């Protein structure tokens, strides 16, 4: 029986989570031959204030990816 734990930084809608569960279940069925009834999926939403990467909280990251690249490269 496959167990899949998924952690998401931030939130997802109920519809998005349902789609993720369906996709993961179908993938394990296709690749491992497991019946859908055997696949167990949990989704945990982690607050961006409780998760960090690259030395900063996700909540404190710039919203514009270009700003993130610029700050990683240092001042010009």
Read off the CATH number of the domain in which 48 is found: 3.30.429.10
CA distance 61 to 58: 5
How distant is the alpha carbon of residue 50 from its chain centre?
A: 14
Please, are residues 11 and 48 in contact by the beta-carbon 8 Å criterion? Answer: no
pLDDT confidence of 47, banded at 50, 70, 90? very high
- Entry pTM: 0.73
The residue range of the domain holding 68 is 3-73
CA distance 64 to 51: 19
Q: Count the domains in the chain.
A: 1
pLDDT confidence of 35, banded at 50, 70, 90? very high
Question: What integer pLDDT is reported at residue 32 of this predicted model?
Answer: 95
């Amino acid at each position: 029986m496959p167990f899949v734990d998924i952690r998401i930084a931030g939130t997802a809608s109920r519809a998005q989570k349902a789609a993720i569960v369906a996709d993961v279940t179908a993938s394990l069925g296709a690749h491992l031959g497991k019946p859908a009834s055997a696949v167990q999926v949990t989704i945990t939403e982690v607050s961006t204030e409780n998760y960090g990467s690259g030395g900063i909280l996700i909540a404190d990251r710039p919203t514009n990816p270009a700003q993130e690249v610029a700050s990683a490269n240092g001042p010009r």
